Structure 1
Amino acid sequence: MTSLVGRPEHFDNGSLSDDSDVHKTLINAPGHKGHKGEDAVEFGNFGDDSSTSYRDALIESDEEGHQIKYRTCSWQHTTGLLLSEYIVLAIMSFPWSYSVLGLIPGLILTVFIASTVLYTGLIVLDYYERFPHLKNVCDIGQHLFWGSKAAWYATALCFIANNTLIQGLHVLVGAKYLNTITNHSICSVGFSAIVAVISFVFSVPRTFSSLSKVAYFSAITMFISVILAMIFAGIQDHPAGYDGTPVTYSLWPKKGTTYVDAMGAFLNIVYTFVGQITYPQFISEMKRPREFKKVLWIVTACELVTFSLAGSLIYVYVGNEYMTAPAFGSLTRTYKIVAFSFAVPTIVFVGSLYSNISARFVFFNVFRNSEHLYSHTKVGWLAWIGLLVLTWIGAFVIAEVIPFFSDLLSLMCSLFDCWFGFVFWGMAYFKVKQNKYKKSCPYPELTAFEKINFIVSGGLIAIGIYILGPGLYATVQSIIYNFQSDAYGSVFDCASNGI
């Protein structure tokens, strides 16, 4: 199948696109819906920057006559989805990270990571515009690693595991919330099951556009929760657990801060920002994919302001002595319940979103040449529901087997964000330039600006490898130390995990 794909001819408003002649790419894409059962798809890129591009027209016509249309997201829909992905519970780990790193290094790292995520997001968009048949991060993984099917399956395994761990995190925090407000009225395992079932219900819709309204509600209520936490931290007489020790904060790391502690705090910051794993799927379901650039700038600005203020203000008012993760635990009981309660929509929805993304990935690959993908068939809906159920069973088990918050964030970051936040997109930039200049080592041919980006992309790969190696070591050591000090509960424990 041959498609004409319109794309900008030049670098525009921060895009990483560049001039190129018509080029064609051939790849076996497991996730692509092809004609006559063929997976091999050929695309040509033509310089066209009209308001209605060839690609936009083809995207609209490709789904004509289908009962279920997936490419229905406007940039406003996608902004809501991305805000719901970023304005989340992990924000409440920033005060703890700043207490370990010190206020100044914490803020510097926040700005640095936000910049790298914006930069790599532009690379993702540019990569999609050049290779629009790559519909998810697993297709991109195969494409980056020389078309290897093994790379596709390895990426798929990491993709599903990452999403299921995030679901498990939300089951864990949901149980913490229910234990906190009810004073542990039932077994914690029961609370986890309740959260998993409720979240499953919200993950049922099959299109992203239908999820966007709930996504905005989730992001807004979580933003209110964070604002309330900042206000309450400032007006309460003293933090929860106050024993007379004065509240203090540090501009720089405290004396005696270990590498393991500092790395864990850094990984918590990285985890909250890194969400590029979902970008290809979001872009592929937009009516006009190039408008994703607008989404990136809006969301990054919101992230930077919210994360920096939450981390610094709560840390300053709570101090080193009474810091908890999540920081709701540092508020006195009434304030804690009020602020934590506004986070409930996020606890439910964000886990639901990642369940939906995982199920969508498997569903699209199983039924890519079938009527069940685009029609309301009994088989299609039973399969969809079954996939969602499996993801939530996995999330429930994870929440019971890995019963900790900050170390779970660090573990997910070191195992998966190293690839999906850094390594993949450094390699993607190299791939774009190899494609443009038709050379395996295009560096001598690059413009001065491209050479700077080439070096930066190499730095992204180095950061990813560092997070995977020393980062994973520090995370495992932290988990071992905390288990040895009996800081965590046991597996499938009925004891309260309230804060």
Structure 2
Amino acid sequence: MAEKYRYGEYGYEEGKDGSSPDGRVVNASSGRPGGYDDRDVFGHEEGHDIKYKTLGWPMVAVLMIAEIVSNGMLSLPSSLAVVGIVPGLILIIFLGVFATYTSWLLVKFKMRHPEVHNMGDAGKILFGPIGREVLAFGTIVFAVFATGGQLLAGQIAISSLSNGTICPLLGTGIYAIFTLIMSFPRTLDHMTWVSLASCVSILVAGIVGMVGAGLHPTPGHEISIVQNSTFFEAFISITNPVFAYAGHFMFFIMVSEMKRPQDAMKAAYTLQGFATTYYAVFAAVTYAFIGNGVLSPSFSSLEPKWQKAAYGAALFNFWIAGSLYAHTASKLCFVRFFRNSKHLHSHTVVGWGTWAALVVIFNGAAFVLAVGVPIFNYLIGIAASLFAAWFTYGIAGMFWLHDSYHYEHGVRTWKRKWFQTTLAVLTVWLVR
């Protein structure tokens, strides 16, 4: 007899026999015939050479932290300098809480739609074929830009450590080779332990940075409670904390490789709790000791000895975060090409050849952008406002509105769950 599922916090979940809200007995987390694995993007993996669904929630939390808590946090103290410490901290904490809520919406959507592997798949459900292409393209563009951003961070760190004796092109090239190598594994489980080291790396780097700022504060520095800024300055500063939380575009891919997707929110709670607390403390402490003259990245404002120590500790994190972004772009295309084919789960020449080509192409594109576009930093900010804000916040509200309408009782559900409906609409409206 087929195992039954119940309608719970994350859609239809594994558990006791139960019925859907309209009385239909279901045996799938999606409310459709068949179990979760029957419609999951990787399906039943017994007997396959390459198994994707191997991650537990602690390792997913590690991957999320390694990917999100990275060089983006180094721009947060400068955001406080632009808007003031009070508005800046309120914004950082608000975005962290907001990201936790939208994480919950994404997990609910994934549980109801096991076939969703990435934002492109979700876009097809919401908006049809055009939506699939637009959101898939946005995911790839943002992943490549984010990889390039990590290469630039690595280049800045290498330049600091070498006292500027290594030319930027060479430093970025060396770093790009490391990123290329680490993004090569086909499955995320092969990147978990290095991601754990990456988490330790950025944690230690932040602590070193705060200690360095405290021991060598900027003489005569000024701190602003509230700062008057131009629209352009405020816009750029606001994209910094958004970028610091911009990891939701990878959530579907990570959850797809979990042994128990139902545990995904445990990973999300761990991520957001750590990130929000760490961001607020790091930004406030660094800004308090350096003041309005703090640079972005903030480690560059430290006394030379401490600057080298902080950048040296962070190097490994920049490397791994960049490889995770490049891996995401490659994985999206690879699954799109070979979904339901033998090349997805088997060691074939076509499969490995395509995977290698994708990894090289996306890492190469990130390298070219990082070294060849003088205004690349501004382009990253624009990409964050266009894609990261929507992927992390706005589109999550659309997921809830879509599923509550089509899988429950339409407008009646919206009226009955008026508070949730209001939150979902506000989520879309705030990012529009």
Deviations 1:299-342 (A, max 9, x none): 1110111000000000000011x310000011011100001111
Scaled by the length of structure 2, the TM-score of the pair is: 0.91
Counterpart of 1:206? 186
Which letter does structure 1 place at the counterpart of 2:253? Q
Deviation at 1:423, TM superposition (A): 2.5
Pick aligned residue for 2:422 from 455, 469, 473 = 455
Pick aligned residue for 1:354 from 325, 328, 331 = 325
Counterpart of 2:7? 9
The answer as to 2:260 corresponding to 1:262 is no
Which letter does structure 1 place at the counterpart of 2:256? S
Higher deviation after alignment, 290-299 or 368-377: 368-377
- Once the two structures are superposed, the pairs formed by residues 59-458 of structure 1 within 5 Å of their partners are 62-145=44-127, 148-236=128-216, 238-239=217-218, 246-253=220-227, 255=228, 257-320=229-292, 322-403=293-374, 407-439=378-410, 441-442=411-412, 446-447=415-416, 450-458=417-425
Scaled by the length of structure 1, the TM-score of the pair is: 0.79
Residues in 2 aligned to 1:328 and 1:180: alpha-carbon distance in whole angstroms: 10
Deviation at 1:348, TM superposition (A): 0.8
Which letter does structure 2 place at the counterpart of 1:452? F
Q: Sort the Cα spacing of 1:357 and 1:463 in 2 relative to 1 into closer, same or farther, 3 A.
A: same
Deviations 1:345-377 (A, max 9, x none): 111111101111111111112122332211122
Deviations 1:422-469 (A, max 9, x none): 231111110121023343x446x632xx2111111111111221xxxx
Residues in 2 aligned to 1:258 and 1:355: alpha-carbon distance in whole angstroms: 35
Residues in 2 aligned to 1:45 and 1:151: alpha-carbon distance in whole angstroms: 21
Counterpart of 2:36? 55
Deviations 1:54-107 (A, max 9, x none): 536997970011010001111111011111012211111110011111111111
Q: Is the 8 A contact 2:397 2:427 kept in 1?
A: yes
Deviations 1:135-162 (A, max 9, x none): 21111011111xx212111111111100
Q: Is the 8 A contact 1:56 1:288 kept in 2?
A: no
Q: Secondary structure at the match of 1:369?
A: coil
Which letter does structure 2 place at the counterpart of 1:119? Y
Q: Is the 8 A contact 1:22 1:46 kept in 2?
A: no
Residues in 2 aligned to 1:221 and 1:138: alpha-carbon distance in whole angstroms: 32
Residues in 2 aligned to 1:462 and 1:298: alpha-carbon distance in whole angstroms: 27
Counterpart of 2:16? none
Which letter does structure 1 place at the counterpart of 2:170? G
Q: Tell me the matched-pair count.
A: 423
Deviation at 1:20, TM superposition (A): 2.6
Deviation at 1:420, TM superposition (A): 0.8
Which letter does structure 2 place at the counterpart of 1:68? I
Q: Is the 8 A contact 2:370 2:376 kept in 1?
A: no
Residues in 1 aligned to 2:302 and 2:103: alpha-carbon distance in whole angstroms: 35
Deviation at 1:116, TM superposition (A): 1.2
Q: Secondary structure at the match of 1:446?
A: helix
Deviation at 1:296, TM superposition (A): 1.2
Residues in 2 aligned to 1:44 and 1:338: alpha-carbon distance in whole angstroms: 49
Q: Is the 8 A contact 1:221 1:342 kept in 2?
A: yes
Counterpart of 1:487? none
Q: Secondary structure at the match of 1:437?
A: coil
Residues in 1 aligned to 2:309 and 2:119: alpha-carbon distance in whole angstroms: 38
Give 5+ residue unaligned stretches, structure 1: 26-41, 48-52, 466-499
Q: Sort the Cα spacing of 1:282 and 1:44 in 2 relative to 1 into closer, same or farther, 3 A.
A: closer
Which letter does structure 2 place at the counterpart of 1:65? G
Deviation at 1:120, TM superposition (A): 0.7
Q: Which structure shows the higher helix fraction?
A: 2
Higher deviation after alignment, 159-168 or 149-158: 149-158
- Once the two structures are superposed, the pairs formed by residues 486-497 of structure 1 within 5 Å of their partners are none
Residues in 1 aligned to 2:20 and 2:420: alpha-carbon distance in whole angstroms: 15
**C-alpha RMSD over aligned residues:** 2.7
Residues in 2 aligned to 1:452 and 1:100: alpha-carbon distance in whole angstroms: 34
Deviation at 1:252, TM superposition (A): 1.1
Q: Secondary structure at the match of 2:193?
A: helix
